[in-house]
Structure 1
Amino acid sequence: MNKKIVWSIIAALVITNCLSIVYIALDKTTAEDKSEEMTVEATKPVVASGEEEVVATVGDSTITRQQWLNELENRYGKQILEAMIDEEVVRQMAEKHKIALSEDAIDRELTLIKTMYNTIDHEKIDDEHWKEQIELSIILEELLTKDAVIPEEEMQRFYEENKHLYEIPKSYHISHIVVKTKESADQVIDELENGSSFAALAMEKSIDEFSANRGGEIGYVNQDNGYAPESYLGIAENMKPNEWSEPIQIEEGYAVIILHDTVDAVTYTYDEVKDQIKRQIAIDQMNGTISVEPFWKELGVKWFFGKNE
């Protein structure tokens, strides 16, 4: 798949990132504060008669809920509001043009994105959230390409030339903890058996810098994408979801993996992906332009930060 198509799919999913900004920022701040043992005292909301609700105290100073909300609005308000408007615009335009998607189409796109692009932290976004964003992405593409006419022969040729894109090998959603010695790996397993969190141990002990700060998350791995050592695949084949492995010797030392999910191998036929191919070709001809903006004016959107001209 050429770069324009790959980035068009990723760009259409950017709504996910916008809606997650506040969560990520606050989560990161909380983690840093705890690790550095800051002296900020977190308290339950306090409301005195005639006074504002207090959400935190710092020494003799307080932070009120209104101050907190104002700061959130100033930092992220425009981005989040714009994302919310975009979603509603897409839904209203879909209803206007009677565009509806089958569950199979959404599930198929979900499988392709999970196993091929591996660009989103799977532990932070569940399948239902993914499906909602994928539905919006596909509907937007349908709206932008609804008048496009792509010859059948061109779509069939695209399918044959890119058939590997629609052949998904068996894939395993895995996290790992990499340590230097067998003894360290055995200690990791002991702590897991005593109830420790795999993600917490990965952040504390793993020497793999790429995955450690994500709780060991390495996404969906298979024989084609090369995201993990070949030995992981053979071991994951015989594992059950939420089961961890014995120590695995790898180039960097030893690893312990945990299996989250398995996606069986599948090959999609031309008829199953025909509509997707049409959208991809049409968007590529549009120079990869994916935007809700053209529909704001059509629906007469007005918002806090100004009127759409």
Structure 2
Amino acid sequence: MNQKAIWTVIVALVITNCLSVVYFVTNQSGEKSAEKTVEATKPVVASGEEEVVATIGETSITRQQWLHELEDRYGKQILEGMIDEEVVRQMAKKHNIALSEDAVNRELTLIKTMYNTIDHEEINNEHWKEQIELSILLEELLTKDAVISEEEMKHFYEENKHLYEIPKSYHISHIVVKTKEAAEQVRDELENGSSFTALAMEKSTDEFSANRGGELGFVNAENGFAPESYLDIADKLKPNEWSKPIEVEGGFAVIILHEVIDAVTYSYADVKDQIKRQIAIDQMNGSISVEPFWKELDVKWFFENHQ
């Protein structure tokens, strides 16, 4: 799975799931949104039928005001994403396109191990599996009439075989501190129930990962995202278990293992359908979009008359 293939999946995920994007945008801008809303809202006294969701001094923000603001800011994007998802499902059913669980799990594994910059702390496997399924269904719909020769697909596989060979990979986070004593103190706090993520944000000297709670994503011997010592120690840990202090450049580290993915090599038969979709999409030279199917299903929506 090359970088273009990875971006194909990510683009399709965005198209078919605007809800996730809105969720994170809303979280990150929530305080600013509330602040602007308060500035624009004159002091009100909520009636008995209006639920107050915030009070600032003598000013109240009601649920109705809040929901109206959300609809104005994100309503069209959310509704479009919901329609896209349903369109993909209905079109897949119409054309008898179904996916095996193995195909979805394989795509999830490839994404998690190869697209390392995903914030894995926010990944919920069931949620991502659902979005990957929608992504593959959309690709299948767009390429269902494509004719790709067996020879071309086999050539693609042989040329890119290394992309389908996943080394044993470890999803880890770390906390880096200056001294061994400080690392031992981190371990003591973890033993007493402190959050690894919170401690990393508070104490870690690794600026790259500290603001992500120490998150390093999936690391392995090939991608070079972590020292070899991390891999050796991670191999001896159980999921959700943290290590003893590890000496690293600039101090000592404590790592925690989240998940292990065993080494796997996918055969041509395993990825044949994926290769067909990828070649066909490359040949299309266009964007991946659900829009062409809206007319086929006669989609009508609120914003048709509210542009």
TM-score by length of structure 2 reads 0.90
Does residue 254 of structure 1 match 2:249?
A: no
Structure 1 segment 77-156 matched on structure 2, within 5 A? 77-156=75-154
- For residue 193 of structure 1, what is the aligned residue in structure 2? 191
Partner of 1:35: none
In the alignment, the residues of structure 2 paired with residue 14 and residue 252 of structure 1 have an alpha-carbon distance, to the nearest angstrom, of 39
- For 1:252 and 1:30, the matched residues in 2 are separated by 37
Match of 1:8 in 2: 8
Supply the AA of the counterpart residue of 2:255: I
Is the CA contact (8 Å cut-off) linking 1:4 and 1:287 kept in structure 2?
A: no
- The letter of the residue matching 2:136 is I
Note closer, same or farther for the CA distance 1:16–1:306 as it changes in structure 2 (3 Å cut).
closer
SS of aligned partner of 2:123: coil
C-alpha distance 135-179 of structure 1, shift in aligned 2 (>3 A)? same
Q: State the secondary structure of the residue aligned to 1:289.
A: coil
Q: Residue 270 of structure 1 aligns with which residue?
A: 268
Q: Give secondary structure in 1 for the equivalent of 2:253.
A: strand
Matched with 2:178 is 180
Q: Distance in 2 between matches of 1:252 and 1:9?
A: 38
Letter in 2 for 1:54: V
2:18 aligns to what? 18
User: C-alpha offsets along residues 170-191 of structure 1, whole Å, 9 cap, x if unaligned?
Assistant: 0011111122222221111111
**C-alpha spacing 1:117/1:288, structure 2 compared with 1 (3 Å):** farther
Sequence identity (%) = 79
Task: Report the AA paired with residue 20 of structure 1.
Answer: S
Conservation of the 8 A alpha-carbon contact between 2:174 and 2:256:
yes
Aligned counterparts, 1:290-301, within 5 A: 290-301=288-299
Q: What's the offset of the Cα at 1:28? A: 3.6
TM superposition outliers: structure 1 runs of 4+ over 6 Å? none
Cα distance in 1 between the residues matched to 2:288 and 2:201: 36
Q: Specify whether residues 229 and 124 from structure 1 end up closer, same or farther in structure 2 by C-alpha distance, changes over 3 A only.
A: same
1:63-110 Cα offsets, whole Å, 9 max, x none, are: 100111111111111111111111011001001101000011111111
Structure 1 residue 282 corresponds to structure 2 residue 280:
yes
Structure 1, residues 233-253: CA drift from partner, whole Å, max 9, x if none? Answer: 010000000000111111232
Q: Quote the Cα distance in structure 2 between the aligned partners of 1:145 and 1:276.
A: 11
1:306 alignment partner, SS class: helix
Q: State the SS of the aligned residue for 2:254.
A: strand
Partners of 1:16 and 1:299 in 2: CA distance: 16
C-alpha contact 2:176 2:252 (8 A) present in aligned 1: yes
Q: Is the 8 A contact 1:245 1:258 kept in 2?
A: yes
Tell me how far apart the structure 1 counterparts of residues 31 and 121 of structure 2 sit (CA, whole Å).
17
- Amino acid corresponding to residue 86 of structure 1 in structure 2: D
1:31-65 deviation per Cα after TM superposition (whole angstroms, max 9, x unaligned) = 99xxxxxxx9xxxxxx9763410011111111100
Query: Unmatched 5+ residue regions in structure 2?
Result: 33-37, 39-44
Structure 2: how far apart are the matches of 1:134 and 1:103? 11
**Equivalents in 1 of 2:283, 2:220: separation in Å?**
32
Change beyond 3 A, Cα 1:181–1:27:
farther
Amino acid at match of 1:260: H
Q: CA RMSD in A?
A: 2.2
Corresponding residue for residue 163 of structure 1? 161
For 1:206 and 1:69, locate their aligned partners in 2 and report how far apart those are by CA, in whole Å: 39
**Does the aligned pair in 2 maintain the 1:166–1:267 contact within 8 Å?**
yes
Aligned to 1:44: none
- Change beyond 3 A, Cα 1:121–1:159: same
Conservation of the 8 A alpha-carbon contact between 2:177 and 2:204: yes
Query: Is the 1:177–1:256 contact (alpha carbons within 8 Å) kept by the matching residues of 2?
Result: yes
Q: Which runs of 5+ in 1 are unaligned?
A: 33-39, 41-46
- Report whether the alignment pairs 1:302 with 2:300: yes
Q: Aligned pair in 2 of structure 1 residues 31, 261: CA closer, same or farther (>3 Å)?
A: farther
Structure 1 residues 271 and 300: CA distance shift in structure 2, 3 A: same
**Amino acid corresponding to residue 199 of structure 1 in structure 2:** T
| Cα pair 2:176 2:251 within 8 Å, conserved | yes
